[in-house]
């Protein structure tokens, strides 16, 4: 049975942030808590939002870490309650948006975050009572603004997913202007996150033809414009297409992801806290090679976007792209030692993305992919 559900209202264009107040009115948010991070505040983007909101009484939580944690979520929940907020605005990258989704759950539901984790059977416990959320991305990568999931590191160190259609933001305000100041390395890392989303969705074993089409188009946009966006952060056309590719990748990955994300979620829980998009970029070559035996025609189609013919050529093209945009060549260059690989492989098997990889991966398969990506 294929379940196909696209339910987010998306406001997409340069200057779209000007619609924040009217979108609050539309979805019934009168006292928002803004979830963001200190980098967004320093870049002046929070002021752009609060200027638009005007007299709307809002509070701000700006303590979002680079990978959202349970501790940060609980701080934001406390801020939500102290402000007597009735909704949330997430302003930032995927971390701020994912944190806001977790706050939306605990602001209106009892218990702990682990109670709502997908792998623990928690998704049905997330109800329509979640606090309404408007998401305004400032990076082009995660696509969390149109997705039903959030990834949070719990206090015990496990990086778990929270998934429910009730978590889809009521509005995604996608304004490419908000990405103009993004540094080249972060543009590269988030851009490869979008590439990984499009590729993994397209290869996933789930059935969702619209998602395949959206993902393939998003991939074409990303490959045509990522290097331009890295080279010139003010390239309006490149920024527009990269934000579209990011949004499209996440619209499509409602279908399901695969081994890249199973591994990167497990790696993301390590103390070194590597960037998720960079992890995806480094892992992607070996995963596409592994998957080619299961979906050869699809791998060849993706290889064609890169100007290559098969999985081996595609893997090499991805490595070369990573190098051109300044990403590390492997896991060890990111400070990840081989002594972590057993832990990572064990947790990749438990990840919610493991089941939708097009080729069933064993623990040994994951270990081989990690070693080849080192």
pLDDT in tens, 288-320: 999 999 999 999 999 999 999 888 899 999 999
SS3 for 89? Answer: strand
Structure confidence at residue 134 (pLDDT): 98
DSSP letter (8 states) at residue 293:
T
- Residue 54: burial class (beta carbons within 10 Å; 0-12, 13-18, 19+): exposed
Are 72 and 63 contacting, i.e. CB atoms less than 8 angstroms apart? yes
What percentage of residues in the chain have a pLDDT greater than 90? 86
Around Cβ 4, how many Cβ atoms within 10 Å?
Answer: 11
Around Cβ 173, how many Cβ atoms within 10 Å?
Answer: 26
Using 50, 70 and 90 to split pLDDT, how confident is the model at 168?
very high
Query: What number is the average pLDDT over the span 341-366?
Result: 95
Structure confidence at residue 130 (pLDDT): 97
- State if pTM tops 0.85: yes
Structure confidence at residue 82 (pLDDT): 97
Buried b (16+ CB within 10 A) or exposed e, 15-48: ebbebbbebbeeeebeebbbbbbebbbebebbeb
Structure confidence at residue 254 (pLDDT): 85
Q: Is residue 175 scored above 90 in pLDDT?
A: yes
Q: Is residue 327 scored above 60 in pLDDT?
A: yes
């Amino acid at each position: 049975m294929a379940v196909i559900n696209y339910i987010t209202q998306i406001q997409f264009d340069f200057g779209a942030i000007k619609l924040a107040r009217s979108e609050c009115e539309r979805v019934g948010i009168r006292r928002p808590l803004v979830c963001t991070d200190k980098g967004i505040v320093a870049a002046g983007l929070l002021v752009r939002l609060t200027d638009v909101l005007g007299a709307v009484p809002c509070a701000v939580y700006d303590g979002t870490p680079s990978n959202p944690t349970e501790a940060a979520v609980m701080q934001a929940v406390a801020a939500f309650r102290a402000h007597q907020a009735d909704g949330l605005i997430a302003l930032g990258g995927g971390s701020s948006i994912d944190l806001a989704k977790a706050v939306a759950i605990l602001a209106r539901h009892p218990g702990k975050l682990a109670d709502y984790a997908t792998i623990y059977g928690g998704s049905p416990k997330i109800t329509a009572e979640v606090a309404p959320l408007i998401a305004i991305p400032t990076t082009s990568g995660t696509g969390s603004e149109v997705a039903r999931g959030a990834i949070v590191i719990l206090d015990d160190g496990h990086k778990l997913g929270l998934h429910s259609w009730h978590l889809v933001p009521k509005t995604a305000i996608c304004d490419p202007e908000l990405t103009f100041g993004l540094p080249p390395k972060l543009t590269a890392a988030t851009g490869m996150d979008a590439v990984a989303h499009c590729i993994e969705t397209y290869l996933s074993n789930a059935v969702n033809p619209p998602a395949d089409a959206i993902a393939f188009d998003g991939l074409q946009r990303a490959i045509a414009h990522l290097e331009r966006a890295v080279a010139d952060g003010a390239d309006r056309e490149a920024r527009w297409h990269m934000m579209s590719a990011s949004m499209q990748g996440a619209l499509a990955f409602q279908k399901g992801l695969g081994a890249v994300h199973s591994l990167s979620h497990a790696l993301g829980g390590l103390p070194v806290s590597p960037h998720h998009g960079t992890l995806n970029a480094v892992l992607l070559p070996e995963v596409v090679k592994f998957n080619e035996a299961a979906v050869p025609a699809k791998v060849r189609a993706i290889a064609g976007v890169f100007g290559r013919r098969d999985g081996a050529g595609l893997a090499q093209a991805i490595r070369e792209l990573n190098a051109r945009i300044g990403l590390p060549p492997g896991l060890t260059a990111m400070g990840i030692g081989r002594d972590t690989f057993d832990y990572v492989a064990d947790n990749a098997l438990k990840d919610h993305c493991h089941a939708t990889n097009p080729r069933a991966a064993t623990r040994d398969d994951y270990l081989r992919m990690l070693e080849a990506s080192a």
